Structure 1
Amino acid sequence: MTEAYGQRLGERLRVENAPAIVTRALRTADMAVTEIRCDNPLPGMSDPIQREDAFIVALNFRELLNREYWEDGRRASVCDLRAGESCLYDLKREPRSLLEQPYHSLIFYLPRGALDAIADEANAPRIRDLSYKPGAGVNDVTISRLGSLLLPALSHPDQVNPLFLDHVLLAVGVHVAQTYGGMRLMSRLARGGLAPWQQRRATEILRANIKGSVALKEVARECGLSVGYFSHAFRRTLGVAPHQWLIEQRVALSKEKLRDDGLSLSDVATECGFSDRSHLARAFRQTVGVSPGAWRRTLKR
């Protein structure tokens, strides 16, 4: 069992409470994120983490001055880390730090199997290694923003949509693979459709926003595509435009809600992301062929 996330990681870094989220969005490997916080550390070296073919990315929320970092038993660097900077670590090199200042970090766990799966689904060559300077901080805005989305979820994981958590952690993995591993998308995109990982991510984002709204450019950006190319590739892969696909998902959800006689049509519309009952009626009739009221009466008969 890995020591690189959750309470086992907390023990290595001398904290009692280490909340973690694990995603199984990739079938062959888990990814995870752990929150580590210590306001009054006892000076000393962090305990070694069991060696494995995996990487961790630490997003730091506190400034650390003259921080000492060690790899393979040797001091690798002494440098300042600013709040908001990220550091990469290779768990094959037994990374350790001198813990003598208060620290607060999000630590993302990326095993080799996860990086391989990400590359495979992108139809890209597998990544051999990640490019980073041992112990040095990087101002990675993407990691910082994705990490900020996860902090509330670590406090109340039962209140967050699992699709959202899978999406954010997968986005971290893809970003690391592209930015530090040099992963580049290849021929599968040339055929005009979405790669499997892009299709999964796009539909997860849309489903996660089924009751609200999401800008098409945001979904396209998460897939690494321009808005125009994404719209074309989405239609080619799923047979309909993104907005139409989302409407179909809302109509499917409304069918489930209409089985509850305690919900009015206005309530159903609100629950399913439509602006009002008229909006629900138009979309429902276009998709199903009858009005929601008529469909509900048919159920009763």
Structure 2
Amino acid sequence: MTEAYGQRFGERLRVENAPAIVTRALRTADMAVTEVRCDNPLREMSGSIQQEDAFLVCLHLRDRPRREYWLDGRRAPMCDLRAGESCLHDLKRDPKAVLDKPYHTLAIYLPRAALNAIADEANAPRIRDLSYKPGGGVSDVTISSLARLLLPALRHPDQANLLFLDHVLLAVGVHVAQTYGGMRPMSRPVRGGLAPWQERRATEILRASVKRSVTLMEVARECGLSVGYFSHAFRRTLGVSPHKWLIEQRVVLSKEKLRDDGLSLSDVATECGFSDQSHLTRAFRQTVGVSPGAWRRALQR
């Protein structure tokens, strides 16, 4: 079992609590994100992580001035890391750092198998290695924006939407493959959207999942497609992403439930697969333009 995410990863960075999310959007590999934070570190070296053919894509949420960093047992030049900057670490090279200043980091686990799967789905040659400055920070707006979308799910996992998390982590992997691995899809015939039977099957599964979570991989597998192609074909056919379409179906169901005056807004949220009343309100307002309470009152009038 890998030490590169979750509690075992947190132990290497001397923190007791390291919330993590694992996604299986790719059939042959897992990706994961771990949040590590320490406000009062002791001056000590981080622990070694079991070597494997994988990378960590780390977004720093706090400044780390004069960070001391080691790679392959050798000290690298000291550098200043600023909040919002990202670093890439090759887990084959035993990366370590001195933990002497407060730190707060999101670490995305990206194994070689995931990079291979991403390249295969893009019909591109597999990536040999990533190009980056070891230990140095880079201002990558895409990584920063995508990784921050994962913070609410790490802090409130009971409210996390698996489809959404699959999309975000897969997007990080594709971005790293293209930006740092030079991945470029080979030309291929332009393909359209979902076949009629695939559209029916996908919407059947998603409708049946209104009250529970479903992964992107589950739906794509039922349609006989890769996750990447399924997402593209679904959007091309139905005009929205699978995640957005599922939210819209939950809103449609909530309209039916709101006609029952015996149900509170909290009850309606639970019946329609929302994590709580505020989640229902946000989704309803974005889709309908008014809050569910206002919609119910207008209906009564």
Task: Give the TM-score taking structure 1 as reference length.
Answer: 0.69
Alpha carbons 1:77, 1:134 under 8 Å: kept: no
1:20 aligned onto 2:17: no
Aligned length: 239
Give the letter for the 1:99 counterpart: L
Give the distance between the partners of 1:144 and 1:105, measured in 2 at CA: 11
* Pairing 1:137–2:137 present: yes
CA positional deviation for 1:241: 5.2
Alignment of 1:214-253 (within 5 A): 234=233, 240=237, 242=239
Question: RMSD in angstroms over aligned alpha carbons?
Answer: 3.7
What CA distance in whole angstroms lies between the structure 1 residues aligned with 2:243 and 2:36? Answer: 37
Counterpart in 2 of 1:293?
none
SS at match of 1:113: helix
Q: Deviations over 1:170-200 (max 9, x none)?
A: 1111111111011112223x424479xxx9x
Counterpart-to-counterpart distance in 2, 1:48 and 1:23: 24
Q: Is 1:146 equivalent to 2:143 in the alignment?
A: no
Aligned residue in 1 for 2:175: 175
- Equivalent-residue separation in structure 2 for 1:146 and 1:106 (angstroms): 11
CA contact (8 A) 2:6 2:20 kept: yes
CA distance in 2 between partners of 1:178 and 1:104 (Å): 27
Counterpart of 2:164, as a letter, is F
C-alpha contact (below 8 Å) 1:143/1:172 kept by paired residues: yes
Larger Cα-atom Rg: 1
Aligned pair in 2 of structure 1 residues 26, 14: CA closer, same or farther (>3 Å)?
Answer: same
State the partner residue of 2:95: 95
Equivalent AA in structure 1 for residue 32 of structure 2: A
Classify the secondary structure of the residue corresponding to 2:76.
strand
1:109 and 1:242 map into 2 onto residues whose CA distance is 31
Q: 1:25 aligns to what SS in structure 2?
A: strand
Aligned to 1:264: 259
Name the aligned partner's letter for residue 242 of structure 1: G
**Offset from partner CA, 1:266-293 (integer Å, 9 cap, x none):** 999xx797749xxxxxxxxxxxxxxxxx
Q: Find out whether 1:6 has 2:6 as its counterpart.
A: yes
Q: Which residue of 1 aligns with 2:68?
A: 68
Q: How many angstroms apart in 2 are the aligned matches of 1:70 and 1:247?
A: 43
1:194-241: per-residue Cα shift (whole Å, max 9, x none)?
A: 79xxx9xxx99xx8xx9xxxxxxxxxxxxxxxxxxxxxx85xx88845
The CA distance in 2 between the partners of 1:108 and 1:46, in whole Å, is: 17
Q: Give secondary structure in 1 for the equivalent of 2:110.
A: strand
Unaligned runs of 5+ in 1: 211-232, 277-301
Structure 2 distance, partners of 1:16, 1:69, is 22
CA distance in 2, matches of 1:109, 1:73: 22
Alpha carbons of 1:135 and 1:241: their partners in 2 closer, same or farther (altered >3 Å)? same
CA contact (8 A) 2:192 2:236 kept: no
Cα distance change on mapping 1:69 and 1:194 into 2, 3 Å:
farther
Cα deviation for residue 242 of structure 1 reads 1.6
Deviation at 1:255, TM superposition (A): 9.1
Q: Is residue 130–residue 180 contact of structure 1 (8 Å, CA) maintained in 2? A: yes
Partner of 1:290 in structure 2? Answer: none
Structure 1 residues 155 and 52, CA, compared in 2 at 3 Å: closer, same or farther?
same
Q: Is the Cα–Cα contact under 8 Å of residues 60 and 83 in structure 1 kept in the other structure?
A: yes
In percent, how many aligned pairs have the same letter? 65
CA distance in 2 between partners of 1:185 and 1:11 (Å): 39
Q: Which residue of 2 aligns with 1:184?
A: 184
Unaligned runs of 5+ in 2: 211-231, 273-282, 290-301
2:54 & 2:183 partners in 1: Cα distance?
17
Give the whole-Å Cα distance in 2 for the aligned partners of 1:22 and 1:28: 13
| Residues 192 and 95 of structure 1, relative CA distance in 2, 3 Å threshold | same
